[in-house]
Structure formats: C-alpha cells, structure tokens
Amino acid sequence: MDYFEVIEERRSIRKYEQRPIAEEIIQKLAASVLRAPSSRGGRRPWEFVIVTDRKMLGKLAVARSKEPSFVMGAPLAVVVGADERACDVWIEDASIACTYILLSAQALGLGGCWMQIRERKHPDGRWAEAYVRELLDLPSHLRVQAIIALGYPAEAKEPYNAEELPVGKIHRENTPAASNRIRSSGDGPFGSFVLPTAKPAIATFRDYVFPLSQIGILCPPCLESA
C-alpha cells in the first residue's frame, strides 16, 4: 500500500477483532512514530506508553466517561504524552505523532481511532490527564495528549469519495475572491483548484528495529527518571 492509498483509505475504526497484534507489527509502529517530525530543532518531547493489558485498557476506556469507550475493545492502545518542559509546542509535536501512529496502523492493516485526553474531564470531575497519569504512574511534567486505540478492524468503512471532500477549504494566493471565500463558510469548489487523480510513486523506508528509549510498556522506567 503506497502513501496515497493509506491517506485515501484511512477511516476512524472503533470496533476491533479480538486477536493480539504481533510484536513485529508493534515494533514497526514504534519505529514509525519515532520518525515523526518535532519542532524547535527536533527536541522530541513526546513519550509513548504501549498498553496491551486487558484490565488496563478497560481502565483507560473510562478516562472521559462512565461508559467505556472504544478503547475497551482494542487489543492495544498507545498513550501519547509529552514533556511540557522540553518544548512550548509539545501539543503540536504530540499531535503529529498521533497522526503518524494512525497512518502507520493503516499501512500495516490495522484500524485505529484517536481518543482525546487533554482538556477533557474524568467523570469524577478531575482532568482526564490526571486520571491517566495516576493510572500509569507517570510523572507530573508529562502531559497526556491522547490515547490511540488500535486493532484489526471488525467494521468496514468506505473511503471518502473525491466528491465528498470540502475542496472549498483549499485556496490559492492572489485570487480576487480568496479573502471573501475564507471569511465565508468555504463550501463548494474554489477557483481553479482540482483534486489530483494521479498517484505518484514514492520510495519505501527499510525496516528498522530501534532502541526504543521513548516507548514504554505500561510504566516505562524512562519516564520515572525524566
């Protein structure tokens, strides 16, 4: 599957088959997310906790509500956090990493969905971040952006058709109507913009197994010393 097929076919998947994800696949996911770009000279403020324990997944599933979320049914989840002391745009860096996880999962035949944690509340009234940090025994300076649930899809979703894409959100500079269009709803086609039909070939990376110092399993030692 090439890059553009991954982009076109990826949908948010919330139902998963109850079969484990092989360690080889987990390693590929880990290597992929460690390639995610980060700002401020590549400070890489993110940290990742891979969770496969069923009881822990069940507890993470109620980080935002009394009713368990789709994380409950996933065989694996990645808790995506970042050291807020390392970079003032840790939110952006962690969000890019989340996207890398979802796209890599699609390329590997997995489905996934993002559950937002930052700025969300736990049912007991505290922040969901605080709940997840306590649950995983994470240090206070580690902010939690999201939990990405992953698994083999147990539901099928058709890719978005080109006709469904909001192409009115794409604008070209120096177009007379651009300012007015951006101020308006942005619906409908704009100017001369058309969606590409060709899929250019792209090179593929070789597989690597990294020393995964920023990937932890449940309670990573690397976070305790951070």
The CATH number of whichever domain residue 76 belongs to comes to 3.40.109.10
What is the pLDDT tens value at each position of the chain, 226 positions in all?
A: 799 999 999 999 999 999 999 999 999 999 999 999 999 888 899 999 999 999 999 999 999 999 999 999 999 999 999 999 999 999 999 999 999 999 999 999 999 999 999 999 999 999 999 999 999 999 999 999 999 999 999 999 999 998 899 988 888 876 656 556 555 554 444 444 455 554 444 333 333 333 345 566 554 443 443 3
Residue 126 lies in a domain: yes
pLDDT recorded at residue 127 = 97
Residue 165 lies in a domain: no
- Under DSSP, is residue 47 helix (H, G, I), strand (E, B) or coil? strand
pLDDT recorded at residue 215 = 61
Residue 139 lies in a domain: yes
Do the beta carbons of residue 108 and residue 29 sit within 8 Å? yes
d(CA 38, CA 6): 22
For 107, the domain range is: 3-157+208-219
Residue 203 lies in a domain: no
Number of structural domains found in the chain: 1
DSSP 160: P
Residue 175 lies in a domain: no
Q: The tokens of 196 are what?
A: 């590409």
Amino acid at 147: I
Residue 167 lies in a domain: no
Q: Say what the pTM is.
A: 0.79
